[in-house]
Amino acid sequence: MTAALDLDQVIGDRSTRIIVCCGSGGVGKTTTAAALGLRAAEQGRNVVVLTIDPARRLAQSMGLDALDNTPRRVKKVDEAAGGSLDAMMLDMKRTFDEVVLAHATPERAQVIMDNPFYQSLSSSFSGTQEYMAMEKLGQLRAEERWDLIVVDTPPSRSALDFLDAPKRLGSFLDGRFIRILMAPAKTGGRAYLKVIGAGLGAVTAAMTKILGAQVLKDLQAFIAALDTMFGGFRERADATYQLLQASGTRFVVVAAPERDALREASYFVERLGEERMPLAGLVLNRVHTTGARSLSAARSTAGAETLEDTQEHAVAAGILRLHADRMRMIEREQSLRGRFTAAHPAVAVVDVAAQPGDVHDLAGLRVIGAALAGLRV
């Protein structure tokens, strides 16, 4: 039998310093991260929640006007146990700017940030958001202001992008294309032609035709200015990756009881196992329930058909049909849950019931937090 996931035990363990909420888009990662952060704070932890969700739901639910790249204290949190809660939203470009400013002279930093290729890379390059989430996680951990960091991973096409992005960016920085473009800056002027030879000269000539001379010049200037920082990017990515593998980190996979979401969760569980990253378990979010489980879909449908013969019982017949639909939904969700647990019997699971409305305040987050702890409220 699948074990029940006890998230109160996870957040209560003082050796747990990072909780990463991951899963496919639209399954409630942001709400789960916020609820876990609030519950941990009210149990005495000093918590910061880092969200990468572009929506403003987290700020609204925590009573904040807005979130930005600076942690903001959340008010109206019960701090009787000695805890506190801060929240922030990743600003991808600002985080990249901070990295440049921290690892380059002011003059070189300005050259980099004024370059059109940097402006594109820092705001829209594939994988930059995930990479900067890792950068920000590393920065927060190094500050030692909080004893628990809760990360809401980016709303990527695939949940695996969060783990893959640093390696992809590292491969890009190490790639042959980048090495070719760096060669002119390293050797300079006419010496460049002698060093790289006709072969690479032909490559750059071809790129000039494709990109245009000015575009290629801008790109080479950007690569040259950023050259000294490349090693730092890779080193920090490696360090943060090791941090994710450490015993003080726990991954919480979030899914809805839907085929695609659970398939993505299954891939992620397997990947975490391959990478030896510590998995706490699965949060199955928005699970539908009923207080009349003994009344099956078949019996409800049969009853509705009987009552529909008489006009005076039309309302009762409609209610029975709605119940039948709900029971079929519950059966489908439980079947999908059963497939996941059969494939991953060692993964602990906690079900969170679907809420009647959107979570929009701290009271709603407390309800979700209690459900994450396996409590009925």
DSSP 8-state assignment for residue 354 = P
253/275 Cα distance (integer angstroms): 15
pLDDT tens-digit map of 68-117: 888 999 999 999 999 999 999 888 888 888 888 888 888 888 888 888 77
- Hunting for tokens 């807005």 — which residue is that? 66
In angstroms, what CA-CA distances link 346 with 4, 160, 241, 279, 326? Answer: 10, 21, 24, 10, 29
Least confident of 29-43, 111-125, 217-231, 350-364: 217-231
What pLDDT does 290 receive? 84
* 3-state secondary structure at position 357: coil
Residue 128 has pLDDT above 70, yes or no: yes
What pLDDT does 200 receive? 39
> Other C-beta atoms within 10 Å of 52: how many?
23
pLDDT tens-digit map of 245-279: 899 999 999 999 999 999 999 999 998 999 899 99
What pLDDT does 181 receive? 52
The full length of the chain comes to: 377
What pLDDT does 254 receive? 95
In angstroms, what CA-CA distances link 95 with 22, 68, 126, 183, 362? Answer: 21, 11, 16, 28, 28
Token duo for residue 370: 């209690």
pLDDT tens-digit map of 312-365: 788 888 888 888 888 899 999 999 999 999 999 999 999 999 988 888 889 999
Token duo for residue 95: 């985080």
Q: How confident is the model at residue 202 (pLDDT cuts 50, 70, 90)?
A: very low
Most confidently predicted of 200-209, 273-282, 284-293: 273-282
Least confident of 260-264, 293-297, 369-373: 293-297
What pLDDT does 210 receive? 45
171/236 Cα distance (integer angstroms): 14
Q: What's the mean pLDDT in 133-158?
A: 84
What pLDDT does 207 receive? 42
Q: How confident is the model at residue 194 (pLDDT cuts 50, 70, 90)?
A: very low
Least confident of 15-19, 187-191, 331-335: 187-191
Q: Are 255 and 27 in contact (CB under 8 A)?
A: yes
Q: Are 43 and 81 in contact (CB under 8 A)?
A: yes
In sign, the C-alpha dihedral spanning 117, 119, 123, 128 is positive
Q: How confident is the model at residue 204 (pLDDT cuts 50, 70, 90)?
A: very low
Mean of the per-residue pLDDT values of the chain:
81
Nearest residue to 218 via CA among 75, 124, 119: 119
247/278 Cα distance (integer angstroms): 7
Q: What's the mean pLDDT in 224-245?
A: 73
What pLDDT does 196 receive? 40
Whether domain 7-291+333-372 has CATH 3.40.50.300:
yes
What pLDDT does 74 receive? 93
pLDDT tens-digit map of 141-150: 989 899 999 9
> Other C-beta atoms within 10 Å of 313: how many?
16
Angle ∠(223,93,204) on CA atoms, nearest 5: 20
243/226 Cα distance (integer angstroms): 25
Q: How confident is the model at residue 216 (pLDDT cuts 50, 70, 90)?
A: low
Q: How confident is the model at residue 206 (pLDDT cuts 50, 70, 90)?
A: very low
